[in-house]
Amino acid sequence: MNSYFGTITIIKISNRQLANSSGNKDDYTFIPFGESNIRFEHYPDCQQLIVWLPHPGSEYGKLRLVNNKSKLIEEWPVADRLNGSIQLILDTLPIAPGLYTIEIDWKNGWQHQIYFEKHNNGEAGRTIQHEGAATKVKSKIEQPEIPIIYRDGFGEIIENTDLILRENVHKDIARRFSRRIEYKDNGRSGSVIYTDNTTRIEFFYEMGGGKCMVYIELPTNKQWEARTNTPLSARQEIVEFVTTTVQAQQASNCEYEIREDAILFYYK
């Protein structure tokens, strides 16, 4: 799969009803999508378009990526792209330079639309955003300054701890924005799979009995590093992300309990 590292400029955001108004109550409860609902994150090795839906993700239908010639590029159920209950994280590296629209279907014909341009690498755009036409001026990205190299009295390079810290922070932010949950269903059992841009961990689950809807097995503290190939210091963050995401996506009518060796979901 090709990767295109150019940045993205949001040209216009709009909300409209494709079908004629039916007088349905949804016509009066529709919450428009605005500039504050979207953010583009760009790093040297990854990029994401992050969307916060104004309604619960379970209320939406399809999400489509369409080019400026109205050709459908990709289409997914919104539920398949949810990270939690309202957040969508879209990997934009595979999108080639050009003009596109993201269409997000809500109920009763309502739709959010995001018009954007994917630039060639090294090119950016400044845009005035509003519901009507957008004014856009392209410009070249300024080349970053070459960092100063410090040397000791013997001419040896001194490690720049500020650059190392900055790089580590960027990597951690990119990892957090790329993480998601996948599922492998085998009937009454299967796997919950945690992934981010550097890690993939598969947790076995099985349906429970009585008040227990399902339990997800966890490696204990002693087992964690050997079974997941991730540091023990990341265990709590990963387990909490798995727990809250599974609850939002699959078990909203349940309470949960985190034990050392399992996550249990109980019917309320």
Domain assignment present for 154: no
**Dihedral over Cα of 114, 119, 124, 125: its sign:** negative
Residue 219, number of CB atoms within 10 A of its CB? 18
Residue 55, number of CB atoms within 10 A of its CB? 19
Residue type, 214: V
17 with 96, same domain: the answer is: yes
**pLDDT surpassing 90 at residue 40:** no
> pTM of the entire structure?
0.49
- Residue 186, φ and ψ in degrees, nearest 5: -120, 40
Domain assignment present for 48: yes
**pLDDT surpassing 80 at residue 47:** yes
pLDDT of residue 130: 39
Per-residue pLDDT band at 185 (split at 50, 70, 90): confident
Domain span including residue 237: 180-267
The three-state secondary structure class of 235 is helix
134 with 188, same domain: the answer is: no
Percent of the chain past pLDDT 90, that is, above it, reads: 36
Percent of the chain past pLDDT 70, that is, above it, reads: 74
67 with 130, same domain: the answer is: yes
Question: 18-22, 80-84, 138-142, 191-195 — which is least confidently predicted?
Answer: 138-142
- Contacts for 84 with CB less than 8 Å, ≥ 6 apart: 57, 244, 245, 248, 249
pLDDT in tens, 5-37: 888 888 899 998 876 555 565 566 788 888 888
Opening angle at CA 265, ends 264 and 268, nearest 5 = 140
Domains contained in the chain, number: 2
99 with 192, same domain: the answer is: no
Q: Is 107 exposed, middle or buried (0-12, 13-18, 19+ CB in 10 A)?
A: middle
Q: Is 178 exposed, middle or buried (0-12, 13-18, 19+ CB in 10 A)?
A: buried
pLDDT in tens, 59-97: 999 999 999 888 999 999 998 888 878 888 888 989 999
129 with 37, same domain: the answer is: yes
| Averaged pLDDT for residues 157-183 | 65
Per-residue pLDDT band at 135 (split at 50, 70, 90): very low
Alpha carbon 180 to its chain centroid, in Å, reads 7
